[in-house]
Structure formats: structure tokens, C-alpha cells
Amino acid sequence: MADRLIITLAQLNQQVGDLAANADAMRRVRAQSPDSDLIVFPEMQLIGYPPEDLILKPALIARAAQDLESLARETADGGPAMLVGSVFVRDGALHNGVALLEGGRIAAVRFKYELPNYGTFDEKRYFLPGPLPEPVLFKGVMLGLPICEDIWHPDVCRHLAQLGAEIFICVNGSPYEIDKGVLRIDGVAKRRSGDTGIPLVFVNRVGGQDEVVFDGASFVVGPEGALWVQAPDWEEAVIRTEWNRVRSGNSLRWRCTAGDVHDLAEHPEDIYCAMVLALRDYVDKNRFPGVVLGLSGGIDSAITAAIAVDALGAERVWCVMLPSRYTSQESLDDAAACAALLGTRLDTIPIEPAVDGFATMLAPAFAGRAPDLAEENLQSRIRGTTLMALSNKFGPMLVTTGNKSEMSVGYATIYGDMNGGYNPLKDAYKTTIFAISRWRNTRRPKIGRGPDGPVMPDTVITKPPSAELRPDQKDSDSLPDYAVLDAILNNLIEQERSVDQIVGEGFDRPTVERIERLVNLAEYKRRQAPPGVKLGSRNFGRDRRYPITHGFRTA
């Protein structure tokens, strides 16, 4: 029976479906950790998470089984054992599980018991739950192996403790959400450990996968509430932890030697890092050479350009100013200043020739009609078409710059400024955009590749927002002040509150009713919007799935 263990926590990125690359990454960690007894990898690290309907392909299931057997055989060399998450088939059903690879074989397999089926998770679509798991005996130590959601409910850890588990090792694919880090540690892990008297290891992945991003931040907690180890967030890390069996009262218990406790990103740096890492991995994993975006001189495009530079480096970001007759000199100057501060390429392509061409072409059809929203939207669509042409011709992905406030009420032009392959601002309200812009102008994110100093002139943050599609246009002409609008939207979308409830909080009824109407009308636009990183609990896409056509109103 061992009285000392070296357990290595491998907080890794992954590529969904690229089993060979994921397996090789695990091999590299194993080769670099020869003195470890056990190396722990995140949930479903072999195939990537979330796999969505890719996991329904029989060829993927067969390849996963082959690669897992290959990894298992390699442990016959007497080196470290591995805990590897993958998909398993039992009696014709798929299971999300973890395998202990030891001594050249798959020594044990345990299945996930609690299958999340809310928000970003659709696990009941793919998997059957396993039975309540039993501990796994490893070097004479009883290891409890709850998987991700299993620790968010008490039953699995309680059951494992009753069967003699001595250490909980929980593998995770836990996506980032605002304030979720504190909830994981204080609200879940410490509670499970304290209730059972058993220390808990939490290993999470890091990196972007389409609309979700994983922040890492793996940790180890003790039953007395101590945080023994805290891995960094937003970057890969391989953490060596040392465990010893020590006497506690009349019994022997396992204790982790206190290690590094890294400071995690505070608000709003966490939001900014989520945007940066999500965009970086989306661009790199889809093999784009870089990105192109329209730089208007406004705050949304300015912070998007900063995110892109922090994600990819200035040399991979191409900014384009697309002025019209309504573009102010201040906007031209601010766009140029943003590009100079960030060190990006900036080209200027006036859209007036195309506007005039469309005006001439449409004149017979528009005869007798005064200019209105159609002409305004046409400018946006010309810009969108121009940027897509640059993307097609030269290869960079077009980044979209619309925020959640605009997307909520339809204050965006479909096939215009909504064009693009990815939108890092998609789940960020306008008030959040102001907050992260002020923060980024004074601080550089821990994972950023951009400049240390300011990334935009202060005038970009302080001037009244405007689409500049007609003379003297301001966003406030069509929408409430953003502080009011975002508060109403938070109630309608994040909290799912009714008009009467929101009015009861002191908001103007006609305004609330109008905003609810706009949110409902804009659903068809959001269905056609590019993907974007999830930040909160109710992002458009994976979390909030409303019918386009429906007649229910809360007022």
C-alpha cells in the first residue's frame, strides 16, 4: 500500500475529433512526467468536448477505442498510469467515461452518472448514464472518479465515500461563465470535500471550441476548506502534486502538499480573456491565416480589433475603414489612431461609388419614395460585401463586431454588419463593452499579444455611439440609454422576467413593452448570425433557443 503518490494534473487544450493530435499531446505530457504515479487529463480529452453529433459517427467511436487501447499498451513500460476521458460503448449505448490506463491495459473504466442537459449541454441526447460508480483501486489507494457534473450533486461523492474512496479525482469539461470560478470552488468542490472528509482534485481543460471557451483553473481542495493548489486560468498547465498518507486523529488520510496558488483573472479581465482565447482557437483550429474587420472609429470595432490583436498578434489583423458621406472626420481620425496604437494594417475603401451605383440602379423601383431605412441598411450591406470580398480574395476570416444589446433588439443589418465568421462580442452587452474597453486601455491581459499601453483613444469610449448611416445619427435616437436598455434586456433575457415584473422594478412600461417586442422580432436575425463566445448563462444560440414564429407576449 502506497503512502506517497505523485499525481500530475494536465490542464490541456484539445481539438474536437482530432484523436491523433489529442493522444500525442497526452503522450508528450507523460514523457515529461517520468516520476509521476498518475497523470490526470480532462473530460473526454481523447475525442474533445463537446463533440455534438460528431459522436454519432461509428467511425469515430471505433477510432477512439483503438487509440485508447494504444495508449493503454504504452503504459506497460512501467511509467506513469493515466486517467483518460473518452466515449465508451456498453450494450449498444454510448457513455461518457474515464479509463485508468495502467500496466499496459485498461485497468478500470467508470461512467458519468449525472448527465447535464441544460444550457450548453445536451448529454442526454448522446449518452446513457452509468450506474453510481465504485472507487478504483490504484497502488492500494481507493480513488473516487466523479466526472464533471457528478460533483454538482451530492449523490455520487456520498456514494463513493461510503464505499471507501480516499481521494476524489474529478475530470471536467467545464466551460467558462461569469462568476463560475468561485462557484466551482466554494459552492461545489469545497462542499463535496467537506461533507465527505475527502480531498478533491478538479482537472479542467482550457481553450475555445466554437461558442464555448474553457478557462482551465484546475485546483485541489482539502476537506477543511483549504485551497491546496490553484492552476492558472486561460493557459495550458501541467501541475505536479505530491500526496502523503498522514495520521488524522485515529485514522490515516491523504493530504496534498501545498503547491502554487495562482491568482485568477478578476472581472472584467476574465471576460476579455474569454473573448481572446475563443477567437484565437477558432481562427487557428480552423486554419485561417488571420482576420479582417471593419474599423469604423466606434467602440465596438475598436475593442474587437484589440481582442483580435491580443488573440493573434498585430501582423495577423487587417483593419479596413469604409467611409461614406456620413462618416465624420472624428471617426476617420479615431480609426487611424486605433490602428496605430495596435500596430495593425489599415486600409481605407470609400463606399460612395457603390452607394451611388445602387442608387442609380434602384432609382426606377424607388421612385416616389423618400430615403429611409432601406438606404441606411444598403450602406451596411455594401460594407459587409466589401469585407467579404477581401476575405474571399486574400483568405483572412471576417470578424463581426456587433454586441449583445444590438443583437437583442435587432439593431444590426442582416447581410451587412452581421456578416462574418465569428463574433467575440456576441454575448457582451454594450455596458460590458464600455467596461472592458476602459480596462484594456489601462491593462494588458495575461494571455494578450498586443501592446502594453492604450489600444484606442479616449474619445472612442466617451463619444455618443452612432452607426453614421444618416446625418447626425445617434444610437439614442432609436434606443434608450444603454444603461437602461441593458438593465431591461438582462431582465428579459438572462432572468426571463415578464413585462409586469420589470415595470415593478421601476422601468417605464411603454419602453419595456417596446423592447420586448423588438427582442421577439429580431429572433430571425439571430438565427443567421455568426457564432460567438458564450460569456453568461443565456447566450443566443446554445443557451437561449426561441422559436422565430410565436405569439406569446408577457405584456
For 146-189, what is each residue's pLDDT tens digit? 999 999 999 999 999 999 999 999 999 999 999 898 999 999 99
Q: What number is the average pLDDT over the span 33-46?
A: 97
Residue 112 falls in the annotated catalytic set: yes
pLDDT band at residue 443 using 50, 70 and 90 as cut-offs: very high
Q: Which pLDDT does position 73 carry in this prediction? A: 98
Cα separation, 291 vs 211, in Å, equals: 17
Position 114 pLDDT exceeds 70:
yes
Q: Which pLDDT does position 473 carry in this prediction? A: 73
Position 284 pLDDT exceeds 90:
yes
Position 386 pLDDT exceeds 70:
yes
Cα 113 off chain centre by: 25
Same fold, 4-256 and 269-527: no
Q: Which pLDDT does position 511 carry in this prediction? A: 96
Position 383 pLDDT exceeds 90:
yes
> Which of 102, 112, 114, 404 is labelled catalytic?
112
Q: Which pLDDT does position 1 carry in this prediction? A: 65
Position 17 pLDDT exceeds 70:
yes
Has this prediction a pTM greater than 0.75?
Answer: yes
What is 4-256's CATH number? Answer: 3.60.110.10
Q: What number is the average pLDDT over the span 123-142?
A: 96
Closest C-alpha to 399, from 412, 410, 384 = 384
Residue 148 falls in the annotated catalytic set: yes
Residue 43 falls in the annotated catalytic set: yes
Span 269-527 CATH architecture: 3-Layer(aba) Sandwich (3.40)
User: So where are the chain's domains?
Assistant: 4-256, 269-527
Q: Which pLDDT does position 300 carry in this prediction? A: 96
Q: What number is the average pLDDT over the span 281-292?
A: 98
pLDDT digits (tens, 9 = 90+) for 462-508: 998 877 677 777 777 778 999 999 999 999 999 999 999 999 999 99
Q: Which pLDDT does position 437 carry in this prediction? A: 98
Lowest mean pLDDT across 2-6, 104-108, 483-487, 536-540: 536-540
Q: What number is the average pLDDT over the span 331-335?
A: 96
Position 332 pLDDT exceeds 90:
yes
User: Is-cis flag, bond preceding 50, omega within 30?
Assistant: yes
> Which of 102, 114, 123, 148 is labelled catalytic?
148
- Burial of residue 129, with CB atoms counted within 10 A of its CB: 0-12 exposed, 13-18 middle, 19 or more buried: middle
Arithmetic mean of pLDDT over the chain: 94
Position 516 pLDDT exceeds 90:
yes
Question: CB–CB of 449/311 below 8 Å?
Answer: yes
pLDDT band at residue 139 using 50, 70 and 90 as cut-offs: very high
DSSP letter string, 291-342: EEEE--SSHHHHHHHHHHHHHH-GGGEEEEE---TT--HHHHHHHHHHHHHH
Q: What SS3 state is found at 143?
A: strand
> Which of 43, 123, 166, 211 is labelled catalytic?
43
